[in-house]
């Protein structure tokens, strides 16, 4: 039995290739069916925007050429040999742990991937593609990753430029109940809105497409809308401004702040910049641009990397332990059979004694303990000795199979 992972990710494949090799849920079902039909006994497929990888329990004959051929045939896309990775056993488990930790992600230590790993396990389990071994490996990996994240507190090191800027502003401006304007409601704008909600700000939005603003207000009724052509007139009403448009032109100009008599904090998260250079020279304006925030973000990413790198030896050790655990002989069925047989013998013996001799409740309990102890010595304990012996796994499996047939008779 071998545990193998194969696939592609952002390290070797650009997005145009990753798009072609993406698994939808229906493709996950189809591909898993194909693998179960001949190449593997268990399957789990994980597909995100940055990776498409397949985990299998299979035999020793399954190699990289077979994995490459499977992907090329399934997606009708050739030339994947140099783009695919293929890892087995301990290295495959180590990869899963590192992946779930976010060490393989574009954003080091990100939390989203762990949720995606859990979702992939839930789907595979529900469809009965992953069974005893893959389920165990993934559950142990997920549990171990949670422990590291909790112990290291790695997620508390912020890496979003918007969040870094807001945390720095919070040192001087208590954001709760302050008036904040978000200009642009794309990905970065929406991220900023969610952060501002957490901070408790009073939020207004402005977007060149007013229809999108109204759609967003349906989701967040407390948000106010400022029309794009009214930004100049309204801008001095706010304590905090976040601009994150895709405009090729400056959105916020220096003359918007003539006769400014209050402190305003501005986060310019756009590239090219939304805020006129001269704005930072205005008294009472505190301007944060993306260069400054990105530098802090890069420093924090490096901190996360250092934190997670310190667990390298611990990860390697746990991967080896999990591999040994799944490759140990399975005595669960035999122990169940032995326990059932011992109970049957114990019940029969006690019943026989009670028919022949008058015994008190206390004496009956003592007799039951003596009988069970004796039975364990000649059955269960012997099985555990076989399991922990220096015999080869193949020989142990054979002995256990014979004993299962004997106890099941």
Alpha-carbon 221 to chain mean position: 32
Cα 74 to Cα 12, 35, 59, 152, 153: the distances in Å are 19, 11, 21, 40, 41
Cα 162 to Cα 238, 249, 298: the distances in Å are 18, 21, 13
The CA-based angle 28-30-31, given to 5 degrees, is 65
> Which residue carries 């400056």 as its tokens?
250
Query: Which helix (H) or strand (E) is 152 found in, with range?
Result: helix 132-152
Are 49 and 113 spatial neighbours (Cβ–Cβ below 8 Å)?
A: no
Are 301 and 108 spatial neighbours (Cβ–Cβ below 8 Å)?
A: yes
49 catalytic? Reply is: yes
DSSP 114-137: HHHHHHHHHHHHHTT-S-HHHHHH
| 186 SS3 class | coil
Are 29 and 115 spatial neighbours (Cβ–Cβ below 8 Å)?
A: no
Q: The tokens of 12 are what?
A: 């070797």
Backbone angles phi, psi at 134, to 5 degrees: -65, -40
Are 151 and 252 spatial neighbours (Cβ–Cβ below 8 Å)?
A: no
Active-site annotation holder among 1, 15, 49, 365 = 49
> Which residue carries 């992907």 as its tokens?
71
- Tell me how far apart the alpha carbons of residues 262 and 289 are, in angstroms, rounded to a whole number: 20
Are 327 and 394 spatial neighbours (Cβ–Cβ below 8 Å)?
A: no
- Tell me how far apart the alpha carbons of residues 5 and 3 are, in angstroms, rounded to a whole number: 7
Q: Which residues contact 137 (CB under 8 A, 6 or more apart)?
A: 3, 93, 96, 322, 326
Backbone angles phi, psi at 202, to 5 degrees: -90, 115
Cα 63 to Cα 3, 96, 301, 341, 349: the distances in Å are 11, 19, 36, 43, 55
> What are the residue numbers of the active site?
49
């Amino acid at each position: 039995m071998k545990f193998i992972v194969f696939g592609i990710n952002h390290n070797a494949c650009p997005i145009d290739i990753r798009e072609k090799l993406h698994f939808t849920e229906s493709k996950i079902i189809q591909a898993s069916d194909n693998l179960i039909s001949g190449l593997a006994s268990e399957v789990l497929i994980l597909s995100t925007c940055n990776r498409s990888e397949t985990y299998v329990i299979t035999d020793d004959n399954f190699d990289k050429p077979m994995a490459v051929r499977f992907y090329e045939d399934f997606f009708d896309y050739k030339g994947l040999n140099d783009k695919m990775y293929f890892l087995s056993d301990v290295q495959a488990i180590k990869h899963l742990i590192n992946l779930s930790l976010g060490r393989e992600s574009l954003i080091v230590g990100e939390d989203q991937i762990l949720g995606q790993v859990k979702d992939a396990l839930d789907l595979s389990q529900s469809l009965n593609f992953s069974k005893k071994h893959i389920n165990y490996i993934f559950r142990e990996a997920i549990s171990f990753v949670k422990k590291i994240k909790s112990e290291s507190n790695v997620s508390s090191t912020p890496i979003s430029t918007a969040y870094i800027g807001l945390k720095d502003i919070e040192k001087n401006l208590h954001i709760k109940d302050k008036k904040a304007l978000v200009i642009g409601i794309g990905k970065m704008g929406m991220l900023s809105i969610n952060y501002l909600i957490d901070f408790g700000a009073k939020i207004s939005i402005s977007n060149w497409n007013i229809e999108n603003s109204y759609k967003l207000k349906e989701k967040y009724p407390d948000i106010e809308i400022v029309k794009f052509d009214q930004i100049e007139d309204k801008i001095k009403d706010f304590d905090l401004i976040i601009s994150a448009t895709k405009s090729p032109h400056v959105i916020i100009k220096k003359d918007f702040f003539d006769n400014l008599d209050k402190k305003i904090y501005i986060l310019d998260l756009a590239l090219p910049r939304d805020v006129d250079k001269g704005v930072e020279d205005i008294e009472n304006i505190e301007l944060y641009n993306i260069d400054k925030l990105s530098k802090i973000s890069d420093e924090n990413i490096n901190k996360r990397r250092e934190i997670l790198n310190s667990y390298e030896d611990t990860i390697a050790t746990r991967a080896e332990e999990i591999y040994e655990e799944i490759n140990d002989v399975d005595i669960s069925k035999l122990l169940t059979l032995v326990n059932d047989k011992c109970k049957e013998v114990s019940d029969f013996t006690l019943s026989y004694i009670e028919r022949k001799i008058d015994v008190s409740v206390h004496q009956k309990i003592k007799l039951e303990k003596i009988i069970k102890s004796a039975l364990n010595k000649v059955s269960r304990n012997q099985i555990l000795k076989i399991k922990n012996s220096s015999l080869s796994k193949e020989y142990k499996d054979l002995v256990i199979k014979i004993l299962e047939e004997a106890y099941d008779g």
